[in-house]
Structures are given as C-alpha cells and as structure tokens.
Amino acid sequence: MTKTLLLLLLVAVANAKVFERCAWARTLKASGMDGYRGISLADWVCLTQHESHFNTRATNRNTDGSTDYGIFQINSKYWCRDGGVSRSNGCGINCSQLQTDDVTTAITCAKRVVRDPNVRLLYFDWTVAGNSNRDLSSYLRGCRL
C-alpha cells in the first residue's frame, strides 16, 4: 500500500502545471486580475512567483496545522475545506479545487480573499515582503500584454 501511495504522489507532482511567467500574466489579465481591488498585475505575478513558483499543485504545511494550497497558496484555515483545521470556508470550496490545472477556481478564490479588507492588507504586505514600494515591472517585462 505504501508503494501505491508513493506512486500516486509522484504522478500528482509530475502532472502539476507550472506556468511560464508571461503565460501566467496573460491568464491573470484575461481573468480580470489587473487592477482588481487596486492590485496591479505585476503584484499578482510577484506574489505567485514567490509563493508557488507558478505551480498549481504547490502546498505548504504551516505550524498551526493549516495548509496553503495552489498557485496563490490560499490557506485552509479560513478559505477552503481540507478536513484539517479549517475554521471557515470563505471560498466555499474543497482545498483540492485550488490545485487543478484549470485555475478558474483559484482565481475566483483569490478575488474573494482580497475582497476582505483586513486579509487583503495582511496577505499582500506579508507575502510580497515589502515589494509594494519597489518597481515590479520586471515581472511583466517581455510579456507582450
């Protein structure tokens, strides 16, 4: 049974969609993320590069028992259900839905997260780690948007 589980995990990792930077920027722009709630396209690209390296299957286990999921690294504690420490389900989804190659649900959930003014500030100030005053144009350079 252990070998089967390991094989399934390897297949899941091997099938992860990892976006190329400009393809991801185009996907975000086409989904209405450029300027959404005052957040620039460059901020979104910066955030997702640093959080997941544009990997749809990325996960990170946190010390509080929650897990961050998908390309946006959305936390299970408040935004999705994973059977763990979820206290609420702000996006109304199972966390596994944040890890599919179709990023529509992940983008919709990210929009929901930043509609909460308290979370939006914490999410971007903490995650982008001070990049808000930096020139982020390099994240979009050469993308022909």
Q: What is the pLDDT of residue 134?
A: 76
- Catalytic annotation on 20? no
Residue with tokens 């390309």: 71
**What is the residue type of 8?**
L
Q: What is the pLDDT of residues 74-114, one digit of tens each?
A: 999 989 999 888 788 999 999 999 999 999 999 999 999 98
Query: What domains are there in the chain, each with its CATH number?
Result: 21-140 (1.10.530.10)
What CA–CA distances, in Å, run from 96 to 30, 31, 106, 114, 126? 23, 20, 10, 20, 24
- Residue 95, Cβ neighbours under 10 Å: how many? 25
- Residue 8, Cβ neighbours under 10 Å: how many? 10
DSSP 21-70: HHHHHHHHHHTT-TTBTTB-HHHHHHHHHHHHTTBTT-EEE-TTS-EEET
Report the SS3 class of residue 94.
strand
Tell whether the model's pLDDT for residue 135 goes beyond 80: yes
Select which of 20, 34, 43, 51 is catalytic: 51
Paired strand residues for 39: 36
Q: pLDDT higher for 83 or 5?
A: 83
User: Which of 140, 67, 76, 133 is CA-nearest to residue 109?
Assistant: 76
Tell whether the model's pLDDT for residue 122 goes beyond 90: no
What CA–CA distances, in Å, run from 115 to 97, 118, 119, 137? 20, 9, 8, 24
Q: What is the pLDDT of residue 65?
A: 92
Q: pLDDT higher for 135 or 125?
A: 135
CA distance 75 to 144: 32
- Catalytic annotation on 101? no
Q: What is the pLDDT of residues 20-78, one digit of tens each?
A: 999 999 999 999 999 998 889 999 999 999 999 999 999 999 999 999 999 999 999 98
pTM (2 d.p.): 0.83
Select which of 20, 34, 43, 68 is catalytic: 68
